[in-house]
Chain A
Amino acid sequence: MNQALRYSWISLGREWRAGELRILALALVIAVAAVTSVSFFTDRVQRAMSLQATELLGADLSITSSQPIPGEFGREAQERGLDTARYVSFPTVVVSDEDSELAELKAVSDRWPLRGTARVSTTLFGEEQETQSVPDSGEAWVEARLLQLLNLSVGDSLDVGEISLNITRVLTYEPDRGGDLFQLAPRLLLNVEDLEATGLIVPGSRVNHRFLVAGDEAVINRYRDWIEPRLGDNQRLESVADAQPALRNAIARGEQFLSLAALVAVLLAGGAVAVAARHYSDRQSDTSAVMRCLGASRRFVLQVFTLRLLWLALLASAIGLLLGFGAQGVLAWLLSGWFATELPLPSLWPIFTGMGVGLITALGFGLPALLRIGQVPPLRVLRRDLGAPPPAMWLVLGLAMLTLGVLLLWQAGDVRLAGFVLGGAAITVAVLWVAALLMVKALTPLRSRGGVALRFGLANLSRRGALSAVQLSAFGLGIMALLLLALVRVDLLSEWEGSLPEGAPNHFMINVQPDQVEPLQALFERHDMERPVYYPMIRGRLSTMNDAPVRPEDYTNPRAERLVTREFNLSFARDLQPGNRVVAGQWWNVQDPEPGFSVEEGLAETLGIELGDILEFRIAGEPVQAPVTNLRSVEWDSFNVNFFVLSSPGVLEDFPATYITSFHMDEAGQRMLTEAVRQFPSVTVLDVRALMQQVRDIIDRASLAVEYVFLFTLAAGVTVLFAAIHATRDLRRRESAILRTLGASRKQVLAGLLAEFMVMGALAGLLASAGASAVGMVLAREIFDLPYSVNPILWLMGVGGGALGVGLAGWLGARSVLRQPPLLTLRQVG
């Protein structure tokens, strides 16, 4: 073993000079560089995205309860060196000299918010500034809307319960606002010290206590572990991962895109290593035969080649790591303008990931080809036609799939995602393989047609069935990855971004009285704005389910408990709204609807509502009963008006309703809004632009990161193509020398090569298009939960691009083959 270790190291240098290991090393370097740059960068981006998300939570962790938070929680957090803050919020009526208005009170402690920064201005609609402080005792910071409603300005005072507060700031932005948009009254921020004096908190008051914690990630995780078993029934823990649903979706999807990018890079790199290793082992047959002749045992030969592969993997991984680290550094620098905050430094994990991926990829994809070097008979020194038997296909594929599976699971950390990618890859390789074999048959009759160049090209393809299949698989895989990158990615991203389009509604108008709808529409028209759709909204409490009373104490889930104590916003609709999809049961017959309710699937799950259950709502004291006829999925992140519960026409029309609408408005529409508020003071306008911008920023950053990450995947794809072309260079060199000896012109030889590569590229492209479409469709439906339709351009680009790309690559690779005189070539490789 020692001798093998020493010899493998010495001979690595020699082999390297001979240049045959370079392509294998290059494949490994790119594999590791791709994986580590992805790892390093996604590590940083994920950290940044988590930071961003903490802003919406205002903390790293928060505990919500309807009861005061036990002091024990705060003491433990402080002992662990964590930052803490708390606030209490509840709706209440605030009073000015002339008027009163419902406001959403928020009594905050010092240091609130722990993540993100609040912004205020000193005058109504004045310039906003970030602030690190909270209202002093006796002060109130209020939203502009409240000032308008109460006709107050900064400097005035208003009454909150039993105390009077002095308005010192206009609150323009609150990072952890979020929440249930439709029930938001304007915000009033005060110091928590003043809360008791207001006298508003009495036993039985419906208030929301929130305890915020922030600090070092590891400490936070340990604190979380500590606190989880201590949480009471009415206490709910929220972390970044379960922040607002829209944001949660955005982050989850972003992370999935990033994982996918890393996975495709790993997959391609493996393909490149497999092709390069096979080529290398072909060329090492002589070395092996000579070593055996000179008395080396088969065991020794195997040890030398395996160790050499390991040396190479270690060196290549080290270089790949450096490259990967450098690449992500450049990436982070390039993207620095896009991130509001400095990207946090990556953790050390990607180093282990990179080394691990390098070794696993080298062994898993390269070993089967190298192992057969030991099987080369020593007699080869006399009879050159004796080579090693090709590696058993089941061994190559089995080990490759196993390796891929391990890598995917490790990198994706998501069994489903790993499964889909692995399944897609397995099916693709299998299909490519079968297609290559069928091709041999299909091309045979064509061999007697066409010009000499085409026929020679086709003959090459059809004769080298096994090698063609390997090449075709590599090309197919490479093209498929490129298609996934170029088109499916764009398709998926645009579908994803499409869920939050530029013109998405950014304002809501609520409390619109029925007789105000028409004048409002006229107002919109006068300002050249599109007339929005108004939805009726009726408030009702869920009273019975299947004639059994609904009581909060029957639910253990705090969300369910909260839901059944509040009034629902009900509506009725004839047609299914855009962004809604019936997932169970049937939408009502539009012509002759039977009474029925349509319930959002998430709500149904929380409250245990099933299809056919009879629900009774109490609206203004009157009961309304109907069965649940369907369940709906709703795109909540679309910012359209949506309802948890809808009734069929004819059920709720007679009840008093207010109307709600959402619409898109840019700066120019501000005048219309001012006029609307003046003309219809009871109408409430909610501006959700800030919140939307936050969500959109995160989506944008994530997509940008994905695109950059995919550049490495692209490099890996190109390496596969390069490795595949390089693998047959000697063969082609010899063939073209013979052809030219026999009198073929360069043009004829090139035309033959071009024909072969283009046909192969077109076929690989065809299969790759099918594969990419299938993978895209599965990913869209099963992972990203997006609609996806097959893009015909994908097929065009797959087949055309495959033929042109592979043809061009083959042509470029072959030109050097034709450069030297045929005599030299025949002697070198003869």
Chain B
Amino acid sequence: MVSHSPAPVVSASGVVKSVMGPAGRLSILKGVDLHVAPAEAVAILGASGSGKSTLLGLLAGLDLPSGGEVRLLDQDLGVLSEDARAGLRAGRVGFVFQSFQLLPALTALENVMLTLELSGHDGDARAGAREALEQVGLGHRLDHYPSQLSGGEQQRVAIARAFAAHPQVLFADEPTGNLDQQTGEQIIQLLFNLKSAYGTALVLVTHDPDLASRCERRYRITDGILGAA
């Protein structure tokens, strides 16, 4: 437990999520409590369908819980509109997805610039984006489109995009899920290096215990309930 942190950057208290399925109400999360301090790395382990990605989406404000409270960067997400939640994320929250989620119409450079522009980044977005891509070793592929890059390269662009605005929190959803082991290892190394460099808090969702072991705290989600791993 990290007790010296002034206030958690992400916190969930009694979070419940249920959806209406063909067989009636289905509970995905059954009262989750989680607090993440600044610069802390937290892993959430779980089998597929356990609700870990749902939890990640709720913590990031991509969706709202059916009950309980989620706070992100000291803001109660429940009282914010969809747009206000997006505005809260802009530049202060980064994402790395299993399927990269780069915009196919934009070049590597433009994909990274987009984050900086959305955060109202002062100064030269182009220069900032170039620097971020150079940091992930893609300085020579600035004008390539996602479809022209390998999976590992695409994930590196995604990492550059995630860190370009120096966010306070980074959410990562199975970041190595679509990559071979060696490339995955390089990506994780890069992710943790940048996290340390910028003092970013990390919430990592994975089913890989090895990957989870690199985080300071580990939880396992089973049948909608979060417990220590």
Which A residues fall within an 8 A CB radius of B? 385, 447-448, 452, 455-456, 459-460, 462-464, 735, 738-748, 821-824, 826-827, 830
Contacts and interface: CB of A to CB of B under 8 A. Distances in A.
Contacts of A745: 83, 86-87
Given A463-B105, A743-B91, A743-B93, A452 B62 contact: no
Contacts of B87: 743, 745
B99 A741 contact: no
Interface stretch (B112-120, B193-201, B210-218): B112-120
Given A452-B114, A456-B114, A747-B83, A742 B106 contact: no
Given A821-B62, A821-B64, A743 B118 contact: yes
Given A741-B95, A823-B57, A746 B62 contact: no
A830 B99 contact: yes
A456 B118 CA distance: 11
Nearest to B145: A463
A822 B95 CA distance: 13
A744 B106 contact: no
B110 interface: yes
Given A743-B119, A744-B118, A821-B64, A738 B101 contact: yes
Given A743-B86, A746-B86, A822-B63, 16 more contacts: A447-B110, A463-B105, A463-B106, A735-B105, A740-B82, A740-B86, A742-B89, A742-B95, A742-B115, A743-B87, A743-B118, A743-B119, A744-B90, A746-B82, A821-B64, A830-B99
B60 interface: yes
A801 B145 CA distance: 33
A830 B101 contact: yes
Between B86, B97, B118, the greatest number of chain A beta carbons within 10 A of the residue's beta carbon is seen for B86
14 contacts: A459-B106, A459-B110, A740-B86, A741-B101, A742-B89, A742-B95, A742-B114, A742-B118, A744-B86, A746-B86, A748-B118, A822-B63, A830-B99, A830-B101
Interface of B: 53-54, 57, 60, 62-64, 82-83, 86-93, 95, 97, 99, 101-106, 110, 114-115, 117-119, 126, 145, 147, 161
A738 B115 CA distance: 11
A379 B126 CA distance: 38
A827 B97 CA distance: 11
Contacts of B53: 827
B163 to A, nearest CB: 13
Contacts of A385: 147
Contacts, number: 83
Between A460, A735, A745, A748, the greatest number of chain B beta carbons within 10 A of the residue's beta carbon is seen for A745
A445 to B, nearest CB: 13
Nearest to A748: B118
Given A743-B89, A821-B62, A452 B103 contact: no
A714 B62 CA distance: 41
Contacts of A447: 110
A337 to B, nearest CB: 54
A827 B88 CA distance: 22
Contacts of B91: 743
A110 B8 CA distance: 108
Nearest to A457: B105
A741 B63 contact: no
A80 B104 CA distance: 75
A625 B131 CA distance: 95
Contacts of B95: 741-742
DSSP class of A's interface residues: helix, strand, loop or mixed?
A: helix
B62 A823 contact: yes
Contacts of B62: 741, 821-823, 826
Contacts of B88: 743
A824 B60 contact: no
A739 B82 CA distance: 13
Contacts of A463: 104-106, 145
Contacts of A452: 114, 117-118
B129 to A, nearest CB: 12
Contacts of A743: 86-93, 115, 118-119
Nearest to B58: A823
Between B62, B92, B145, the greatest number of chain A beta carbons within 10 A of the residue's beta carbon is seen for B62
A741 B89 CA distance: 8
Nearest to B98: A830
Nearest to A458: B105
A823 B63 contact: yes
A463 B146 CA distance: 11
A188 to B, nearest CB: 84
Contacts of A464: 105
Given A746-B82, A823-B63, A738 B103 contact: yes
A772 to B, nearest CB: 30
A651 to B, nearest CB: 76
B64 A460 contact: no
Contacts of B114: 452, 456, 739, 742
A821 B86 CA distance: 11
B162 to A, nearest CB: 9
Given A459-B106, A738-B101, A746 B63 contact: no
Between A463, A735, A743, the greatest number of chain B beta carbons within 10 A of the residue's beta carbon is seen for A743
Contacts of A459: 105-106, 110
Nearest to B83: A745
B143 to A, nearest CB: 11
A87 to B, nearest CB: 78
A741 B95 CA distance: 8
Nearest to A464: B105
A739 B97 CA distance: 13
A746 B93 CA distance: 17
Contacts of B86: 740, 743-746
Between B53, B92, B103, the greatest number of chain A beta carbons within 10 A of the residue's beta carbon is seen for B103
Contacts of A830: 97, 99, 101
A132 to B, nearest CB: 75
A719 to B, nearest CB: 26
Nearest to B101: A738
A463 B145 CA distance: 9
A746 B82 CA distance: 8
Given A460-B105, A463-B104, A747-B83, A742 B63 contact: no
B38 to A, nearest CB: 19
Contacts of B82: 740, 746, 821
Contacts of A456: 105-106, 114
A821 B115 CA distance: 19
Contacts of B106: 456, 459, 463
B145 to A, nearest CB: 7
Nearest to B60: A741
A447 B103 CA distance: 15
A826 to B, nearest CB: 7
Contacts of A739: 103, 114, 118
Nearest to A385: B147
A482 B126 CA distance: 43
A448 B109 CA distance: 11
Contacts of B57: 821, 823
Contacts of A460: 105
Contacts of A824: 63
Nearest to A451: B117
A743 B171 CA distance: 13
B1 to A, nearest CB: 29
